[in-house]
Amino acid sequence: MALSVPTRDIGAVDDLQYGTLLADMLEFVPDLQWPLSVQTYSRMRHDPKLTGILAAYTLPIRRATWCVDPAGCRDEVVQLVADDLGLPIRGTDPKPTGARRRGVVWGEHLRYALLSLTFGFAPAERRYEIRNNRARLINLGERMPHTFSEIEIARDGTLVSASQDLLSSRPIPASRLVWHVNDREGANWTGRSLLRAAFGPWLLKHEVWRVHATSLRRFGMGVPQVEAPPGATPGQVIEAQRLASAARVGDQSGAGMPPGFLFKLTGLTGSVPDAMEFIRYLDQQMSVMALAGILDLGQTETGSRALGESFVDLLCLSLRAVADDIARVATSGHGGMPGIVTNLVDLNWGEDEPAPQVIATDVGDQHEVTAEAISQLVQYGAITADAELDAYLRQAWRLPARSPDAPPPAPQPAPQTGVQARARRARAVRAAAGQRELTEAEQQSGVDPAAIQQAWQDQLDAVMAAWPPIAAAWTAALAEQIAAAVDAGDPAALATMTVDTTAGQEALAAAMRELAATAAEQMVAEAATQGVTVEQPETDDGHLGEVAAAVVLLLAAGLAASAAREALRRMLPGADGQTVASAVTSYLEGLSDSTLRTQLGGSLTAAQTAGRHAVLTATPPASMIASEVNDSNTCSPCRDIDGTEWTDLDEALAAYPVMGYVGCLGRERCRGMLLGLWG
């Protein structure tokens, strides 16, 4: 029976015919339609801000460790690919062999491939030579984007050939091209430049630059003005105008006036638009479009250091995505064009021969963190310091190869035994697999970390959802007091501002009481999994209410202090109270909620701890175990205490009194807890 499957396309990718019709029907700016776009982006990349953005993208990728991953391929195939590309073999090859001298300089090709971020695409043409009955890649010739005049595309969207606007009109077939393209959509093989979204801010910025420079040049030293004497004749007025026009700025400039004439330098009066602030705004928009907000840290009046790591992480994800695209094109190609590696393997061994891969192993990685993790993995016996690991680390950190006469890595001591050793091995497994596994003691306790964390998160989300009206009321009350203090000219009154915290205390206290009861119920269930029946005790609601009141009062005092500092910064003599209060309100509304979330979360941790401690106190277990399983980022002291076992209840409670481990560097952010073993 014959199979009925589609073997031919009915539709087409799109109707673009580059070089014969309009390049991109979806691009509405003529200067950004190919081929004019190449010239526009060439001008844009010289802007200081865009130059920094492109450097932030390209330099970490160029500096990364690129290598050939054998991926199970034959040694002969892997060695030829590595030699011709000028790349080491992952983990084993300290340096390329002699054929390297006639191969490709990978760093140069990578630099050119990254031009696809600027222009949208960056083609290269491969050239081989036959040596020892093998096809050897000797060149990846740059074919600059501005030299192309026509791109021929098949109906299915694959690239057929590309023609350059040179003396030779012979098109280059796709099989000879390595075509790096950024954000290709459909048959748009000219791609989309990283700078596309910055065109508007860039255009406005350079226009504002010119206007601002003209204003400084014209009005920076004032406008010369010569007044003719009263009753001056037309000739004297003309002479006064000539004297004013002849005035020049200089360290020895001067003017001699006829009797009755008056010379003045007049500056601008009234307010003018803040050009520098607008230029900074445009620069920030360019950073935002490239996910490069890290470049703006320290250049704005306000900000949060906590955002720095988030910006870095987001930029690193972008860098890895770009590096992966380059590695994919270099390995297997796309759009009807073979990859550099697969084409090299196919020419020498045929299409059935498996091909290795080009990879970038550490784009955006921080080796300081990796070094600490690897040290712990070796220490706890999760991995072994063998020759292959030694070679990989030396390559990753760009260290010299191990001398043949050097002794092999020392064998590791036998793993420890006991509860702490099992906990440490579990932490090593977590570091290797990217997650935290339960230790044997945690499994024995019957704890459900996910349920505990979810109960905490649900209450935190509920309190955060109820907080905006409370914060708005606080802000309004502070604004009223600020306006009164400014109008009265009494800066000292700003230090005594207060707000009504009743609603905040009630909301937080209710959440803490409910979470404490839930935590006690969860620990009773943990005892039940061990075959022990524990009566659920009552929690101390009065103490929880007092903690809630203290935390909310501290939050209110912190907000009042922030408002007072901002008001003092704007409280000029004679300032309008309502204007200052409005500015302070905008400032407070723009503050991050990270501090609020941390303080409320710490209070809820205290409630959860109170519920669990109530069970431990009512029915003391045989032993208590420290567990940091719910820590998202575990500090060094918490790692050390994790898995510790106590038989004395007072000692255990002293280590975990209210908000997690008492020695935690994260303070109220700690999510550590005590587990009970009644067996």
* Tokens encoding 133: 């009955």
Hey, CA dihedral for 650, 652, 656, 658, is it positive or negative?
negative
pLDDT band at 195 (very low <50, low <70, confident <90, very high): confident
Binned at pLDDT 50, 70 and 90, residue 111 comes out as very high
For residue 272, what pLDDT band results from cuts at 50, 70 and 90?
Answer: low
CB-neighbour burial class of residue 582 (10 A; exposed 0-12, middle 13-18, buried 19+)? middle
pLDDT tens-digit map of 393-440: 776 666 777 777 766 655 554 444 444 444 454 444 444 433 467 888
Q: For the purposes of burial, counting CB atoms within 10 Å of the CB of 308, is it exposed (0-12), middle (13-18) or buried (19 or more)?
A: middle
550 Cβ contact partners less than 8 Å away, ≥ 6 residues apart: none
Q: Which amino acid is at 80?
A: L
Average pLDDT over residues 227-251: 79
Whether 431 contacts 369, CB under 8 Å: no
Give the Cα separation of 173 and 125 in Å (integer): 10
Q: Provide the CB-side half-sphere exposure for 209 (13 A, CA).
A: 11
Integer Cα distance of 509 and 663 in angstroms: 26
The pLDDT value recorded for residue 121 is 92
d(CA 140, CA 177): 9
Q: What is the pLDDT of residue 409?
A: 59
Please report the DSSP string for 524-541 in residue order.
HHHHHHTT---PPPPP-H
pLDDT at 622 (0 to 100): 84
Tell me the C-alpha distance between 150 and 188, whole Å: 12
Helices (H), 530-576: 541-570
- Over 80: is that where the pLDDT of 80 sits? yes
Mean pLDDT on 436-459: 86
Contact 437, 430 (CB under 8 A): yes
pLDDT, residue 344, reads 92
Taking residue 287's Cβ as centre, other Cβ atoms within 10 Å add up to 23
Write the single-letter amino acid at 291: L
* Percent residues over pLDDT 90 in the chain: 10
Please give the structure tokens belonging to residue 299. Answer: 């250049």
| 661-670: average pLDDT | 85
Contacts of 634 (CB under 8 A, 6+ apart): 427, 628, 642
Residue 484 has pLDDT above 70, yes or no: yes
Residue 240 CB-half CA count within 13 A: 18
Residue whose C-alpha is closest to residue 620's, from 536, 537, 677:
677
**Mean pLDDT to the nearest integer, 438-451:** 86
Contacts by 15-20, CB closer than 8 A, 24 or more apart = 16/153, 16/186, 16/187, 16/188, 17/153, 18/150, 18/151, 18/152, 18/153, 18/189, 18/190, 19/149, 19/150, 19/151, 19/152, 19/163, 20/150
Q: What is the pLDDT of residue 407?
A: 65
Determine the 3-state secondary structure of 92 from DSSP.
coil
Higher pLDDT, 100 or 352: 352
What value does the mean pLDDT take over residues 591-603?
Answer: 85
The confidence score (pLDDT) of residue 373 equals 66
Question: Mean of the pLDDT values across residues 81-101?
Answer: 70
Task: State whether the Cα torsion 11-13-19-22 is positive or negative.
Answer: positive
Domain boundaries, the chain: 12-194+303-360, 209-244+261-289, 367-414, 446-615
Q: What is the mean pLDDT of the chain?
A: 80
Q: Could you tell me how many residues make up the chain?
A: 679
Round to whole Å and give the CA distance between 511 and 356: 57
CB distance 91 to 395 below 8 Å: yes
How confident is the model at residue 76, as a pLDDT? 92
For the ranges 203-207, 290-294, 363-367, 523-527, the maximum mean pLDDT occurs at: 523-527
**Sorting pLDDT into bands at 50, 70 and 90, what band is 380?**
low
Minimal CA–CA distance to 318: which of 358, 294, 290, 360? 290
Q: Which residues of 472-511 are buried (b: 16+ CB within 10 A; e: fewer)?
A: eebbebbbebbbebbeeeeeebbeebebebeebbbbbbbb
- The answer on pLDDT for 123 being more than 90 is yes
- Using 50, 70 and 90 to split pLDDT, how confident is the model at 343? very high
Give the pLDDT of residue 345.
Answer: 92
Q: How confident is residue 177, by pLDDT bands cut at 50, 70 and 90?
A: very high
Report how far residue 617's alpha carbon sits from residue 590's, in angstroms, rounded to the nearest whole number.
44
- Give the span between the Cα atoms of 382 and 218, in whole angstroms: 71
What would the mean pLDDT of 381-390 be, rounded to a whole number?
70
Can you give the pTM of this predicted structure? 0.50
CA distances to 21, 166, 232, 409, 676 from 149, in Å: 12, 9, 69, 59, 75
Query: pLDDT at residue 367 above 60?
Result: no
| Residue 180, φ and ψ in degrees, nearest 5 | -85, 125
DSSP per residue over 605-644, as a string? Answer: HHHHHHHHHHHHHHS--SEEEEE-TT-SS--HHHHHHTT-
In this prediction, residues 166-194 reach a mean pLDDT of 84
- The better pLDDT of the pair 78, 595 is held by 78
Instruction: Tell me what pLDDT residue 24 has.
Output: 64
**Looking at residue 422, what is its pLDDT?**
46
Q: Within its chain, how far is the Cα of 222 from the centroid?
A: 46
Rounded Cα distance, 290 and 322, in Å: 12
Which of 133-142, 229-238, 264-273: highest mean pLDDT?
Answer: 133-142
What does the buried/exposed string (b/e) look like for 341-367 if buried means 16 or more CB atoms within 10 Å of the residue's CB?
bbbbbbbbbeeeeebbbbbbbbbbbee
